[in-house]
Structure 1
Amino acid sequence: MSGVTDTARPAAPQSPPSPATAVSRFPVPAREDLPPGLRERFAAVEERSGFLPNVFAALSWRPAEAEAFFALHDALMDKETPGLSKADREIVVVATSAANDCLYCVVAHGAIVRIRARDPHLADQVAVDWRKAPLPPRMQAVLEVAIRLAVAPAEVTAGDLDRLREHGLTDDDVWDVGAIVSLFALSNRLAHWAAIPPNEEFFLMGRVPRT
């Protein structure tokens, strides 16, 4: 972490992007103006995927917040447990982002689902109607609770969490479900707030062989 605060964030570019190419309603700093930690992360992402997801550029105008967001994202999403694989975690993101009408997160994380689940159709099925998606009972139970937390959090009960444990999730897994839904509720709303468009590259990822 760089320790950069919002008061010390990089200056906005002199010429904001045109509406046709804008990735945010807010300023997007030049790469060279970002703290080293973000520059390194952006370069690593570009090397792996061949492009920089628009959400990275959009969040980068608040460097301290961006670094905190990515750190929590990594802690929740970049791990495998018996109860929740990496693909399962992305499926939770797609289902709850669809419930929150977040085009960016559905498209971007749908691409990750296709890759991690090795299934070109599952993300679309989950986004449109997760109840009819070919998911095991464990994930059906996870999504039922996750959607409730996303759209009607006050209706979540202790019994909902107990049913997840009955499906083999540990307490850490149950916490992760809630934390993933909560983190991406933030992400969904910021994507709406800033009007972040999905990168075109996401639409074909996991559908056609990578060139």
Structure 2
Amino acid sequence: MKIAIVDYGMGNLHSVTKALEFVAQADAEIILTADPAVVASADKVVFPGQGAMPDCLRELEASGLKQAVLDAAASKPFLGICVGAQLLFEHSEEGDMDCLGVFKGQVIKFKPENMHDEQGQKLKVPHMGWNETFIVQDHPLWAGIADKERFYFVHSYHFAPTEPHDTIIETGYPNRFAVAIAKDNIFAIQCHPEKSHTAGLQLLRNFVHWDGKQ
């Protein structure tokens, strides 16, 4: 089995690659690639991303990988991570731009003027560090991961899906919002599983063995 990690120059590619190699062992070949043909021939695809959304979309289009990503999302087990996950929505407030439109909804900016913790202290943006996650729906990629497990986050914008049934996992900062969404063969997550120790590795291990069905 071959798992392609899409390299369009805008992801934490070394960490994602090493984490997947660690959990896959001999069960899958992990291929970091900028070749659309390799993405098309892979059995599964991981779509990471890091940095500003407009830069990510520009590099994705310039690399010639945009259509390969869309085709993969339509046809095989597909994992979006961080900005790679955000790019799957219809629109983003970052750059006021249209995205890939795989999920209905948009990516919106945290509004720090309205964000305070239980002691009344203003919360910082970006949302950075470890935070609890709450299970909204069961999913094969969350198997073996407990409710309220902590994952690592770094983001100033967050998912606002239109379809409630797409939301699998939420977190709070301070209000609850979606951080993992899924439909059919696609799972997309805002936090960084490759930086989230045991729980993150479990999610990636689940992806390696996932058949793309919920």
Answer whether TM exceeds 0.5 for this pair: no
Question: Which structure is higher in RCO with an 8 Å CA cutoff and minimum separation 6?
Answer: 1
Structure in which a larger fraction of residues adopt helix: 1
Greater share of strand? 2
In terms of Rg, which structure is larger?
1
When normalised by structure 1's length, the TM-score is 0.28
TM (norm. structure 2) is 0.28
